[in-house]
Amino acid sequence: MREKSETLPKATAKRLPLYLRYLNMLNDSGVQRIKSNEFSEITQVPSATIRRDFSHLGELGRSGYGYDVPYLIEVFDRILNTEEEKRIALVGFGNLGKALKHNNFRRNANLNIVCVFDNDPAIAGKEIEGVMVYPMDRFSEIVEKEGIKVAISTVPSKYSQSAIDEIVKGGITAILNFAPDRVSVPPHVHMQYIDLTTELQTLIYFDENYSQVFSSK
Amino acid sequence: MREKSETLPKATAKRLPLYLRYLNMLNDSGVQRIKSNEFSEITQVPSATIRRDFSHLGELGRSGYGYDVPYLIEVFDRILNTEEEKRIALVGFGNLGKALKHNNFRRNANLNIVCVFDNDPAIAGKEIEGVMVYPMDRFSEIVEKEGIKVAISTVPSKYSQSAIDEIVKGGITAILNFAPDRVSVPPHVHMQYIDLTTELQTLIYFDENYSQVFSSK
């Protein structure tokens, strides 16, 4: 079997986690085989796109037979390297930070928030709700000791740039940022913004202007 | 001036809130005029896409001159109807619900969470952190009285379908859902899922496989 993940188009790569999520749901429901048009209905991705995406990954299915669900999961798990534990630092332990820490990406047992930082003097250096909260000046030291590769920032826009600067200084290259205002990072750092206001505005616009169903992603 | 928002392609419509956000940031910084290639650098949307998107909205710019920022904001505000208050019901008042309520989409003064629901007997029917928390059996009554058109659900996957059923029964057609597992809704209901695990997996995949900068949206 060919696996060409190193040459995956970015648009394909961006859809892999979504595909994997629905494949796991199908597998949990006992579905062993799926055709691209059925998978299209579930994922809301056009079936031609699905077939093209899967074709980049090698010979995963046969015409008229469909795709083998457990096998797809195996391949996608390998490509996405989901078996390896991803150790995550959470920066900002307000309500949103607490929600993320307590939920801790339950659907993927290998995504783990292993330490929490906040500069608020009311909580920094203390154990809050069973979680040790470190001040940011210990970020580099702890991140190195804990082997952390990913950070999530829930720090509000006002303090976002200085928090991100500390995160980058600690050698982290993958950051999920809940403050939507753009911050400066070196070109080797991957920053993903979660912008809930924009998501909500888009939803409302479609609700007001399109009568048919609009699928988000 | 032509305004053709009723015929906007969905892909264009989905980018409007993002454009508007950056235009407001530019305006706040005193920038009055912007060329498509400059706007492309800020938004990470290809400049050909920007020009094509803007062309759907009428004569917004002149070649070589660029686009007038305050005018673009005016047009986009009108299309997105951002001046009108959007009254929102929040369902689920755990940590994530509290974060959303207390932040309340601060960047858009017209997005307002005006009432909060939760069926947890420990908080339902009580005032929690200054917020009255209603039980779900009062959803339809209160939503009608308050003129609410949009709901946000932070209810965990396990209870998501029954919460969404109540929301739909209350006549809401636009729902932002933080539980990523798909639920059934009638075809006229617009559901947008926020799936943080998938966002994080995508980020990590790109960090591990692409050395150059990856822009999220």
Locate the chain A residue with the closest alpha carbon to B82: A201
The DSSP bridge pattern shows strands B131-134 and B127-128 to be antiparallel
**Is the separation of the CB atoms in A23 and A69 below 8 Å?**
yes
Chain A positions touching B92 (Cβ under 8 A) are none
- The pLDDT value recorded for residue B187 is 87
- The pLDDT value recorded for residue B211 is 59
pLDDT, averaged per 10 consecutive residues of chain B (217 residues), comes to 58 86 86 90 86 84 81 89 89 93 79 95 94 96 95 93 96 93 88 86 83 44
DSSP B32: -
Chain A positions touching B213 (Cβ under 8 A) are 187-190
Whether A191 and B216 lie within 8 Å, measured CB to CB: yes
Q: Which of B182, B201, B212 sits opposite A80 (nearest CB)?
A: B201
- The pLDDT value recorded for residue B2 is 42
What is the side-by-side strand order in the sheet with A131-134? Answer: A127-128, A131-134, A111-117, A86-91, A150-153, A174-177, A190-193
Alpha carbon distance, N-terminus to C-terminus of chain B: 29
Burial of B172 (0-12, 13-18, 19+ CB in 10 A): buried
- The pLDDT value recorded for residue B55 is 87
Q: For residues A184 and A162, what is the distance between their CA atoms, to the nearest angstrom?
A: 10
Task: Confirm whether residue A61 is marked as ligand binding.
Answer: no
Long-range contacts formed by A74-77: CB under 8 A, 24+ apart = A75/A3, A76/A16, A76/A19, A76/A20, A76/A23, A77/A20
The DSSP bridge pattern shows strands B61-62 and B66-68 to be antiparallel
- The pLDDT value recorded for residue B7 is 66
Reading the block at residue A73, the tokens are: 């999961």
| pLDDT less than 50: residues of chain A | 1-5, 212-217
- The pLDDT value recorded for residue A211 is 59
The DSSP bridge pattern shows strands B33-34 and B66-68 to be antiparallel
Q: For residues A166 and A170, what is the distance between their CA atoms, to the nearest angstrom?
A: 6
**Is the separation of the CB atoms in B151 and B167 below 8 Å?**
yes
Best of A158, A168, A200 to substitute, by most chain B Cβ atoms within 10 angstroms, is A200
The DSSP bridge pattern shows strands B190-193 and B131-134 to be unpaired
Please state the ipTM of this predicted complex: 0.78
Nearest-5° Cα angle at A203, A207 to B150: 70
Q: What backbone phi and psi angles, to 5 degrees, belong to A129?
A: 50, 45
Q: Which of B88, B149, B201 sits opposite A108 (nearest CB)?
A: B201
Chain B positions touching A184 (Cβ under 8 A) are none
**Strand runs (DSSP E) across B108-215, as ranges?**
111-117, 127-128, 131-134, 150-153, 174-177, 190-193
- The pLDDT value recorded for residue A7 is 66
